[in-house]
Amino acid sequence: MNIILLGAPGAGKGTQAHAIEKNWRIAPLATGDLLRRITSSETGAEENPLSIELREIMATGALIPDALMIGILEEEIALSKYANGFSLDGFPRTEAQASALEGMLLKNGLRIDAVVLLTIDEKALQARIEGRLFCPSCGASFHSSLNPPKREETCDMCDTRLERRKDDNAETLRKRLEVFHGQTEPILPFYEKQNLLIKIDGMRSIDEVAEDIQQSLLKLDTRS
Ligand SMILES: [Zn+2]
């Protein structure tokens, strides 16, 4: 089974990719991680022509051409770890890319079986992020409303004054959500038309979301 995983920041996409891997033995394929791995000097790939080309493109801040990205993905999914399928994260982001991906998969006798969109309530997510508190001394974490410390703004474990993380603010979240919408909305109609889109409420507990995804995928599995 091959899945595309879509979700706003804070929806728990990475966690769910691992839950899907556990339940279906299909490997997460995050294009960001893949590109980092290909271009990383640690993997010894730095003299590889593809690595050089990619680093040149990424250094200019330009987007990686669709045909190149499709070629990279084609090579990657041929690896044995994807024998049962993949959950793709980070690609496609345009309808042209979605269509090119479909063509490449078809050529390899494969297809996308489901597009899982983890939906969020933006106001609730904002409250969730803004309420986060952590202890700079022992690292314990709290939440002003969901998991409040016994004494206001004070660590239960070590009495240190609690702090908020600098990037836990409404402005950062708003920017991330904008990027998410810009990268996700263009491809939704493509997959909606093919009846592949599964919307999952991503605001519940990790286990509830995982169970909901599992039930949806089981239904698909019996259908095909
Ligand atoms: Zn503490």
Encode pLDDT of 97-139 as tens digits. Answer: 999 999 999 999 999 999 999 998 888 878 877 788 999 999 8
pTM of the model: 0.79
CB contact at 8 A, 136 and 160? yes
- Give distance in angstroms: CA of 137 to centre of ligand 1: 5
- Whether residue 54 is contained in a domain is answered as yes
Report pLDDT for 145. 83
Report pLDDT for 213. 95
- Give distance in angstroms: CA of 144 to centre of ligand 1: 15
Catalytically annotated residues: 13, 93, 132, 165, 176
- Whether residue 132 is contained in a domain is answered as no
**Half-sphere exposure in the Cβ direction for 80 (13 Å, CA):** 0
Question: Residue 187 gets which letter from DSSP?
Answer: G
- H runs (alpha helix) in the chain: 13-24, 31-39, 49-59, 66-77, 95-107, 122-130, 170-184, 188-193, 206-223
Report pLDDT for 44. 59
- Whether residue 108 is contained in a domain is answered as yes
- Measure the CA dihedral 54/55/59/62, to 10°: 0
- Whether residue 94 is contained in a domain is answered as yes
Segments forming the whole domain that contains residue 110: 3-120+180-223
Encode pLDDT of 129-167 as tens digits. Answer: 778 899 999 989 898 888 899 999 999 999 999 998 766
Residue 4: φ, ψ to 5°: -105, 130
Task: Give CA 91 to chain center in angstroms.
Answer: 10
Report pLDDT for 172. 79
- Give distance in angstroms: CA of 146 to centre of ligand 1: 18
- Whether residue 136 is contained in a domain is answered as no
Report pLDDT for 99. 97
- Whether residue 144 is contained in a domain is answered as no
- Structural tokens at position 45: 């790939």
List for the chain the helix, strand, coil content (%; round to 5). 50, 15, 35
CB contact at 8 A, 126 and 8? no
- Whether residue 174 is contained in a domain is answered as no
Residue 168: φ, ψ to 5°: -85, 65
How many separate domains does the chain show? 1
- Give distance in angstroms: CA of 134 to centre of ligand 1: 8
Burial (CB < 10 A; 0-12, 13-18, 19+), residue 200, is buried
- Give distance in angstroms: CA of 152 to centre of ligand 1: 13
- Whether residue 195 is contained in a domain is answered as yes
What's the CATH code of the domain at 91? 3.40.50.300
Report pLDDT for 67. 93
Residue 52: φ, ψ to 5°: -65, -45
Encode pLDDT of 40-89 as tens digits. Answer: 866 655 577 888 888 888 888 888 999 999 999 999 999 999 999 999 99
